Chains A and B, each alone.
Chain A
């Protein structure tokens, strides 16, 4: 059901580089797992709404009041690389 190509596609969407072996292994495992998970298709949910939130809360807000931000050094401290206050990221193309 889940082929190696599907795994490649999904791995791209998730930005995880996989080796050929991993692709094959995951294809097998994902197929097996999803085949089992498919059992939920047997449940009659025709008159049921999905539960997105188990607690029925709504309209939770905050006021438009400023709070202090992090100092620049702290914001950049864990970054991969920084330069002149910017986070330095790899090239786009």
Chain B
């Protein structure tokens, strides 16, 4: 490892701190293929827990006998028109879920939704999806959902009927009409559903004094307050990033947690074609993204330049940007004089801040109306308003950012605090809650739980019997959006109908249906409620034809809410006059905490969704847990380490959380994700009644109403206990450390460069790769691919994939899409800690630079489908073989589980079923362990999520990405049905369709007109580990950062200076197959110095 140390950390890529520090743990990951013995079974309490998790899935039991068991075929009595049994069909729908509006196509088989896809035709989201929408289908089949109306009678909750509630609702309304609704309150979340708003308006007209409280635990009301102050009305920002030249974000995760993430991500990459200028010098260059943030987000990782600043400094930074904009800052004069200065990464924190501010502000000013500043809610309403003011000054307001009015802006609402005080004053004695679990997410200083126990009639409508449901007298099962009528307006203004794909599985109803019944409306069925709303929005009654068209397409250009232009009318005094400082010294009594929703479980509402719990979170790669993210320097200063506990205190409240050291974060700053620590989520997410421990830590006690998003002046103390965090960051590490000889060559698994480098040296991607001399002899045997030409099968498609790293924002949508499509099981925290996660697809995260100022590059990785696949050569039973179409196929029935293939895979993409994750645990323990038949029938619900086109694998079987072979075969068969050859676009993999930025292309690489073939001849394309000559079918396009020259790191500057395309060709004659000598110094000089050194004949 010695030469590793000699290499400058700035030039190396590292996956984690333990790799950078070369900890023993990391070495053990590298040295042992399977870090723990295969036979180790989870022990003790955790074993039971693990079994409970597994109970969430089940495979079909097969009887043993000579013949297959007798099977019955039960055809329809009358088959619906157009229905083809066993064939998938898709239907458009739109729904709001996790605060985002999705425009989707739902794939169903035999009336059962099995997969979520984006609606490609939709003008706003353009077919993108994200993790929440992809995983929403698992929630549909969650057996822990509330399965019927329940009422609190005789000291406990008892099941009852909807009719019972309807009777109660009628009498309640009769009573309320007497006092004009003064004693009644509705507690809701922000909604994008015009039907819901219409119902609530109807309620207000019947009960004029009703209290409508709105509570948003994730974003709070910051944006509404800011827009009210700045533009005179409420507004929800919609960014047109495609048109922007310079984007500066301050604590705004526009590519991550933002509610318009799908739209933003697509617009962002559309404005960033790195090749545009290479091909046409006059074309518009790619946009430039500057990010200022405390934690590390997807936006920061996608940024061209990133500065870590804690929130209080970010506010001052914003003020400084405004001063620069007012002054019309100009950097062009300074540029020349600063050329001799140090590269960005070698500066101190204070110098970095100064240079970043100067250049970002100047760039923004220069961009003028093509410049956009985005300020996140975490910095406060006044800062957000300042952002709007700056955009107004730049001229980009209404052009790059528009402010449609939120759908629910017309409702007169109060906050949660006001609701609680009205309950406590005795004014309100009945509450109807249509928000998702507010008792869990309510600010710590507002005792909603106590207030709810005071009211006489509390009605909760939700998906689960959760923390809030427990406090209420009535529990009403909410229908999942896949099983109910509804509607939602996307941020772009398009009205979309949510149409049910299946009848309610657990007798749920939608909020609008319940309200309509309570209000005594003439039409109480979901469809007519929604249709009436659609008529109102369209301005005239929609004809049946128009209505069906709206349902079929998922949107209609005739049913759109207009977005009105806004003008800045707010105050003009600056946010602050203080200059920003880059705090490097850590004061343990002045810590700032940012609260962020979790990548997977959001605000906790998806805690019982196993896919989302096990999702490796975007940058931490943490599963089944939350942690206090702190920078390594801050951790050291606070006396804590990765995996120890930290105590965070504010006033009386102390919270202990495990520490996760995150490179590149701002100092004196902690990021906490909320949504964990649920005590009544279910069998997966934790449930006190059944002895299932919560997952993660509830950070709620620190979130008070004045600190829902960010808390200042927190105290921090170290604790000595340790805690095991299950991360996937070091798992499946490509074994580079093991190969000392090729270390220097293979570390370039990931290739990136700056736009300047691309323009100067278009072929830099190839030049950055290892030197692979041409083979002088032919191989002994014919590769499967070579036979194609011999046999005259040129019409056979050759499948391949291309992934553009410049487009990948690391959002994880592909990971969940793959899990959903391919029946990938969840394995639980303990198994993840044992490196046994089953995701076929992972997103590798590499840091570059120092721990204080680290850049991140992500690389989605799945089976490369090598043409000369190493796994195939070691399989003793030929269970993994090549198809004529270049797919490395798995025959599960042949696999005997030797795991040789996983051992021999250079990319570490094979996954082994250590247990019967889908089968006997579910059957043997999970289901039979539940006493009643109803329980077992419910457990079987989960089985419905499995894709019938994909085998459910059992224990002892190896599996991996198949390029969605079921979709490939379906594409071929569809082409056959139409009597034509397969065309580009016939086959789309699950990861490809899920991607909001279209970073993944898949298709026939033998067809030179296909998109994937076009991508593969791009100058940025490279294959991983070319020196192994495995000829991967998946290739990558290098990541291009459009970094300002003065913000370039030493590595980037070095590349620019030394890297030339022709580097590799100089020595072909000299050292054909000779291995490179790696042990010379100055490795950080990259390829350039290496070759120089060789030319000089260094002696070892």
Chain A partners chain B: no
Interface set of B (CB-CB < 8 Å, partner A): none
